[in-house]
Amino acid sequence: MGCFAWIPKLKPRLRRGKMLLHSSARPTAWEQCPHCKELFGDVYDKRIQLSAVLESSTRCARCWALGHIIGHVTDLASASTVLVGSIWHDNTLEIGVIGPGDTFETAPGYKIYDISDRFKGERRRLDPILGLPIAPKATHVNFRPIGATPEERFGLAKDWLSECVTSHETCNQDDAQYVLPRRLLDISDSDHVRLINTLHQELHPRTAYVALSYCWGKQGNLCTITTNLKQHTAGIPMLSLPSTIRDAVIACKHLGQRYLWVDALCIIQDNLHDKMAQIPQMADIYSGALLVLSAAGSSGSLEGCPLGPLEMQPSPPKLIELDYPLQSNDTEELAGYRVNVVVEQMEHERCRSLPGHWARETFDQDPTDALNVIEERGWTFQERFLAKRSLYIGKGEMSWTCATEVQCECRKPSPSIMTEAGDRVFTRRYGINHMSVNRLFSEAELSKTYSYLWTEIITTYSARLLTQFGDRVAALEGIAVALQRKWPEIYKKDEYFFGCWLSLLPDLLLWHASGEPVSEHISPDLFPSWSWPSCGRPITFMSWMWYGVNPKLWVELLDFEVKPPPPGAVFGQGGGTVTLRGPLIPVKREVVVYDGGFEEVEYVPIDTQLSFMAGGASMDHDDQGPNGDGVSHLALVGSYPFKLQEKSKMLSCAFLCVAPVEGRQEVFRRVGLAIGPRTKQAFLGHDLQRLLTPHIMNYKLV
């Protein structure tokens, strides 16, 4: 409170042991205040100097309240601190405090709301005196203190595990006989861990084990190779283990588990035959594990994954009592107007990639989790997705997901919300057990349902980083196998190639690239050009193919030929040719210059009757340059809306930008995706079909 002493016209006054700040502000002056009103809008629109709010506190009751509240979370004396804020859907003020050295992306944010009893039963949105939002539902009561010792904290995790195994019907209804991993680590000894062959040990097929999900890092990981296999079966000293693996062993001991699977130690890393045999087993290894333990806060095997220390843990909510001095005239005694205000650390669902509430969240809604980097890595995606249940050890706290619950250390569990079909509603789908096809689309559109589920998976996975770009398909193999088992009539094993399902291929052609490369070295030729793995950047799909009104697919898959991969190729690599039938439209390249000198390349159909389909393109690879790498045709894949006997303006159409393969007639490679604009003219679907018919032909993509 003493930080306000420098503000003019504020007269400190003690009442019942508290300091009151006398202000001559009219209670509702905040309605016209040019400072705080910019913080209480619908969007983060303006940046307001904290010093301006403090100076205004003698005239505006809300600025007075903000000054007191912000003083509990930051230094009020900093002249450069600015505030940004917005009222959110839950009627709370979410405010960012951008201090020295912070940016909008890194600044801490706070959730502020009034919980005073005087307005119970009323439908007020703002306190009439201080102008603070009155939250209809206080969330600070859900906070629970994090345990002080490892025994307390792992005890909570052990309770989560026990409850899930004994009480969660959904989590235990999968009665599949998963194949035990070929090797496991026996961690029962206090000083050593021992690599065992599960066949030689004659373990029960349902032997419980924990599977570790972690980042290797660039160096320092301990691996089993041909020359040390015998040594590892004899025993590996605990002190020889990399820190992250050693901490995982300790965690498993706290949880009462004897066996641990770690990829670096349980797969012979210099034996290609062993690796190729183990990659397809990822679905069994991670789905069959009693628990997947995620070293979420570790960026490498040498970093360790200890429990988060106190300074990294989520901040508990602050409950602040404000006594605003009211007076009806200059001579009347001051009368206090008391309110209780809660200040919580910002907790946007999109501020973290992992479930639970994580320490030091930033103010903006960037989906990147700056601390728990495991969610950036490609291989760890399927490890979480396949798990029956997962325990995450983050920088700040532990959290838990299973098919029934999402938990964290700092919050009490919230009530479950169910759909009419009986499915639990999750804020995000964390794994295969959170996926449902119920009512996603109509019964007549089941193929859309399944292609949409796959594109959701690819959109998330494709943005993740890989040390070796060639692993782009291999790191997804476990999920493909799991879907084959869950919906075998749709996801057929003999139809899965290069991250695509042939029966769903027309939908899966409609991808485009954006963002930064996912690997340091990109080699597109490791995969067919038409398949999304060939692109070294994050992938998104044209959503209107699923949600648009009356979309139409114009392309049909006629044939598929797979080319055997070269010797030494990584799992999932190779070549494949698809024969398609659909409109293949010759185009010319034109440069459109807009006001201000901005230029854009458009591909314009040579057939003038189709000139309305001209559009710009998104190239698949950064290095293709402005010429689009020799685009000669646009292959129409989809458009909407389309009805044969009704006129409508085409809202969008999507084409593959293709370039001819030298020396091969009617053979092309994909280089990008072009989007046609909304048309000014309305067409009967029959008439549009007639215009396109001369261009419908068979062609091949490699």
Q: How many domains does the chain have?
A: 3
Tokens of 558: 């006629």
Same domain, 169 and 294: yes
Is the pLDDT assigned to residue 350 strictly greater than 70?
no
Q: Of the residues 406, 433, 460, which one is the last residue of a structural domain?
A: 433
Spatial contact of 398 and 153, defined as CB atoms under 8 Å apart: yes
- Residue 287 in any domain: the answer is yes
Strand pairing category for 210-213 and 259-261 = parallel
Grouping H, G, I as helix, E, B as strand and the rest as coil, residue 37 is helix
Is the pLDDT assigned to residue 4 strictly greater than 50?
no
Same domain, 131 and 170: no
Other beta carbons within 10 Å of 406? 20
* Separation between Cα atoms, residue 178 and residue 488, nearest integer Å: 16
Kindly state the average pLDDT of the residues 464-474. 93
Same domain, 444 and 471: yes
Supply the pLDDT for residue 622. 76
Same domain, 449 and 462: yes
493 phi, psi to nearest 5 deg: -60, -40
Is the pLDDT assigned to residue 439 strictly greater than 60?
no
Same domain, 182 and 110: no
Is the pLDDT assigned to residue 226 strictly greater than 90?
yes
* Separation between Cα atoms, residue 438 and residue 420, nearest integer Å: 10
- Residue 108 in any domain: the answer is yes
- Report the range of poorest mean pLDDT among 28-42, 283-297, 318-332, 486-500: 318-332
Q: Would the pTM count as exceeding 0.85? A: no
Mean pLDDT of the chain: 84
Tokens of 9: 């016209």
Q: Of the residues 418, 433, 448, which one is the last residue of a structural domain?
A: 433
- Residue 155 in any domain: the answer is no
- Residue 357 in any domain: the answer is no
Summarised one tens digit per residue, pLDDT across range 296-324 is 888 899 999 999 888 878 788 999 999 98
Closest to 301 (Cα-Cα) out of 375, 243, 229: 243
- Residue 29 in any domain: the answer is yes
Summarised one tens digit per residue, pLDDT across range 143-194 is 888 999 999 999 999 999 999 999 998 888 877 788 999 999 999 999 999 9
Task: Give the model's confidence band at 335: pLDDT under 50 very low, under 70 low, under 90 confident, else very high.
Answer: low
User: According to DSSP H, which parts of 433-476 are helical?
Assistant: 446-461
Spatial contact of 301 and 217, defined as CB atoms under 8 Å apart: yes
Supply the pLDDT for residue 371. 59
Q: Please, what is the angle between helix 446-461 and helix 477-486, to 10°?
A: 160
- Residue 301 in any domain: the answer is yes
Same domain, 447 and 341: no
* Separation between Cα atoms, residue 643 and residue 683, nearest integer Å: 9
Same domain, 414 and 449: no
Q: Which residues pair with 110 in a beta bridge?
A: 95, 345
Is the pLDDT assigned to residue 415 strictly greater than 90?
no
Summarised one tens digit per residue, pLDDT across range 53-91 is 999 998 999 999 999 999 999 999 888 999 999 988 788
Print the domain residue range for 555: 437-702
Q: Which residues pair with 587 in a beta bridge?
A: 605
Same domain, 303 and 176: yes
- Report the range of poorest mean pLDDT among 91-100, 176-185, 269-278, 565-574: 565-574
Same domain, 541 and 649: yes
Same domain, 428 and 460: no
- Report the range of poorest mean pLDDT among 17-21, 111-115, 301-305, 605-609: 17-21
Q: Of the residues 410, 433, 456, which one is the last residue of a structural domain?
A: 433
Spatial contact of 617 and 625, defined as CB atoms under 8 Å apart: no
Q: Which residues pair with 638 in a beta bridge?
A: 553, 654
Same domain, 266 and 176: yes
Supply the pLDDT for residue 379. 92
- Residue 283 in any domain: the answer is yes
- Residue 533 in any domain: the answer is yes
CA 65 to chain centre: 36
Same domain, 582 and 530: yes
Q: Does an H or E element contain 540, and which?
A: strand 539-541
